[in-house]
Amino acid sequence: MKTLKLLSILTLGLVLSSCSNDDDGPQLQQVESDTVLNLFAPQTGGQGDPVSGEFTKFDFNSGETTTDATEWDIAFRGTTIIVNGGESLGTTDEPERTGNAAAYLATGTFGDILEVTPDQFNQDSSEGYAIASGSGNGWYNYNFMANTIEPIPGKILVFRTREGRYAKVEILSYYKDAPDEITPEIAANDLRYYTFNYVYQPNDSETTFE
C-alpha cells in the first residue's frame, strides 16, 4: 500500500509539472544589440558615371557581413542600402532578392523606437529602394561645401528581415573609425565605412525591441 501511494504521488507530481511547463509556453530569446564598426561598402563610378560594384551584405541573425547569395538581410554600396526583398532597381551588380525583407524610416531617438509599425514597410522595386537614396531623402544629407555625407539625426532605419523578424539601425558615421571631425583628407580617402548601432528581435512574431 505504501508503494502504491508513493507511486501515485510521484505520478501526480509529474503531471502537475508537465502542465506548469506547458502553461509557461516557449522561452523567448533575448533581444540583441550591438555596434558595427567600419563596415566597408565600396563602389565604382558615381558623380554622373554609372555606379557598379558588389554590395556588402549583412545578416542580423549572425550579426556579421556575409557573401552568401541568399542568407542576408540588408546590403550596402556607397550611400545605398538595399533589402533582401522585392525587386532589383536594375543597377549593375545588384544581388538577387530571395527573402521577404522590407524597411521604413522612423523619426525619433534610437531608444524611443520600441515597436515596429508593420503597415509602414516597403520593399525594393524597379521604381526605387525601400530606403530612399539621395541627399535628404533617406538616412543622410550631403554637405556640398565640406563634401561630406552626414547621417540625419533622428532618422532610424527599421527592417523586417528576410525571415520576417525585426531590427532597427542607427547610422552613426560614414567614415573610417567614426571620427568626431571630418577633415578634407578623411572626406576624400576614408569614406564608405559605416558605423551603426542595431537592435535585433530574434523571436518570431515579436514586434517590440524590449
- The pLDDT score that the predictor gives to residue 19 is 47
Say how far apart CA 91 and CA 201 lie, in whole Å.
31
Confidence of residue 45 (pLDDT cuts 50, 70, 90): confident
- Please write the tens of the pLDDT for every residue from 150-160: 999 999 999 99
pLDDT value of residue 7: 40
Chain Cα centroid distance, residue 196: 10
Which residues, 6 or more positions from 120, have their beta carbon under 8 angstroms from its beta carbon? 104, 106, 158
92-126 residue pLDDT tens: 999 999 999 999 999 999 999 999 999 999 999 99
Say how far apart CA 65 and CA 164 lie, in whole Å: 19
Say if pTM beats, i.e. exceeds, 0.85: yes
User: For residue 193, is it left (φ>0), alpha (ψ between -120 and 50) or beta?
Assistant: beta
Q: Which cell numbers hold the place of 10?
A: 510521484
**Mean pLDDT over the full length of the chain:** 90
